[in-house]
Structure 1
């Protein structure tokens, strides 16, 4: 029989998947109700940072002592927050939220490719090759037809989503190579802080965030994204990470398209096509194969493994 603690862990895990999976819906609602991309991101990160910084201050988490670590955290704020958040929010001006959630769930597939190219000790195994093949066929099904016409708005949006997915993967690999020896909340709060600096500057340069004509839908979307997507989601992530470990916690990637597609269809009446369903199944199947024990035999290895990152790379989700 499951203990009360294990049941609570599963509830928090499902809540984490819901927080991140629903973020695509509320990004769509925000941009559809008058919020420009950088402005939306700036306000949500400001709310999220306020919550996270309060938690760090109350817990008296120690700050990094090495000056160069702040440089690494700035890079993480750019590649794990500013770039992907901007690309996803820009994309959802023309692309369905459900499609955004599925394409973004392919991050683990791109991590395998980038890590194999740039990290020592990363092995290419049978199951990873099989997972990459299956997963990328799914991605091709999702975006192939639209990308064939690069002049279409859908194609530009889908390319932006792919760019965001690659940026998250780069952030994951960069953290594994450079961000070590920190309490997990520290990389989280500094990623959000530096991401806010970048997107806030862009908002004031190219938009007018102080002149937003707020409506209930846009206000609710920003508060939801800030408190849940950029705030409570981190706290849930760290709770599960501490209890379950990194590998099991990474299963949250399977929940993103489930909640993303379901909420998009339920709230926004976004169509669920055969290609969307099949592509989603293949992407999830590819991620499952990448993490499977079957076929976990090295084909190529690049020496000594890199140290494990302490940065919450998965928590960069929108």
Structure 2
């Protein structure tokens, strides 16, 4: 790889962290006036326009197997529609920084689900240590919401965030097993498209989106979330997948809590106390341990099937 290409990839990596990390800030701004599914559908519809244009220009081939569309529909629910709705609903009562921190712990849920369903993803010593450290951070953050007087709303919001994180983890494992052999932009296009139809339908049936208060702040938030968080961010992500690979690209998870904390404090004056800092450090540390190379001895996981002799 040329130094120029390397510099561009680092720029895209930082841009990806910025776009995804600030998404929690703009969700918080959006929920000031917009109900959950209206905000999610508007965001996805905006991003879908960009993705359709890119796929059309690139002349990407569509899947030929009908069952693949079924898998992409499942992915649209567990990887986009459900977690987006949970996060958006949660941020009605939870700080954007806390949302960013808890969602930065997706690998902590992914490895547990993967150990149950995938033969080559066992729980090893380093992963067990990472789980212990990371979940300690999660407990501190959830306990902070209870101890700060946030009440049932804050706790239910944090539980919704944890559910969204688990949904992302399930989506990662489901994609590993069922969504293969496709150019990266195709899953993104159909996941966003299906999720837009699902959330848009729910919004029309339950929230009367045309009667809500559309402010300049909410429109800007949707534009940011759609064009950048759900559109341009995917383009950066898939470019990095091709040049860096999945493991290195996944390190963007370390940036999300940091960007989320800074953005929430600067723009919304959210409080950054010791509980936030300690919880963040433990979640990031847990993710780092999960991805480390030491302690690879298997502790728990599905036993690989025997290999037949040739």
Report the TM range for the smaller structure's normalisation: over 0.9
Name the counterpart of 2:4: 4
- List per-residue Cα deviations over 1:177-204 (Å, max 9, x = no partner): 1111111101101110111111011101
Q: Which runs of 4+ in 1 moved over 4 A?
A: 147-151
For structure 1, the residue ranges without an aligned partner over 5 or more in a row are: 306-318
What secondary structure is seen at the aligned counterpart in 2 of 1:63? coil
Q: How does 1:90-105 map to 2 (within 5 A)?
A: 90-105=89-104
TM-score by length of 2: 0.94
Alignment partner of 1:164 is 2:184? no
Q: Structure 1 residue 144: deviation in Å?
A: 2.4
Q: Report the Cα distance in structure 1 between the residues aligned to 2:198 and 2:73, rounded to whole angstroms.
A: 10
Q: How does 1:53-72 map to 2 (within 5 A)?
A: 53-72=52-71
CA contact (8 A) 2:106 2:168 kept: yes
Select between 60-69 and 140-149 the one with higher mean Cα deviation: 140-149
CA contact (8 A) 2:47 2:226 kept: yes
Q: Report the Cα distance in structure 2 between the residues aligned to 1:269 and 1:145, rounded to whole angstroms.
A: 18
What secondary structure is seen at the aligned counterpart in 2 of 1:94? coil
Q: Report the Cα distance in structure 1 between the residues aligned to 2:50 and 2:303, rounded to whole angstroms.
A: 41
CA contact (8 A) 1:43 1:222 kept: yes
Name the counterpart of 2:308: none
Name the counterpart of 1:312: none
CA contact (8 A) 2:145 2:151 kept: no
What secondary structure is seen at the aligned counterpart in 1 of 2:31? helix
Q: Report the Cα distance in structure 1 between the residues aligned to 2:54 and 2:156, rounded to whole angstroms.
A: 38
Q: Report the Cα distance in structure 2 between the residues aligned to 1:263 and 1:151, rounded to whole angstroms.
A: 24
CA, structure 1 residues 113+147, in 2 after alignment: closer, same or farther (shift >3 Å)?
farther
Name the counterpart of 2:229: 229
For structure 2, the residue ranges without an aligned partner over 5 or more in a row are: 306-310
CA contact (8 A) 1:147 1:159 kept: no
Name the counterpart of 2:86: 87
Alignment RMSD, CA only? Answer: 1.6
What secondary structure is seen at the aligned counterpart in 2 of 1:173? helix
Q: Structure 1 residue 146: deviation in Å?
A: 3.6
What secondary structure is seen at the aligned counterpart in 2 of 1:299? strand
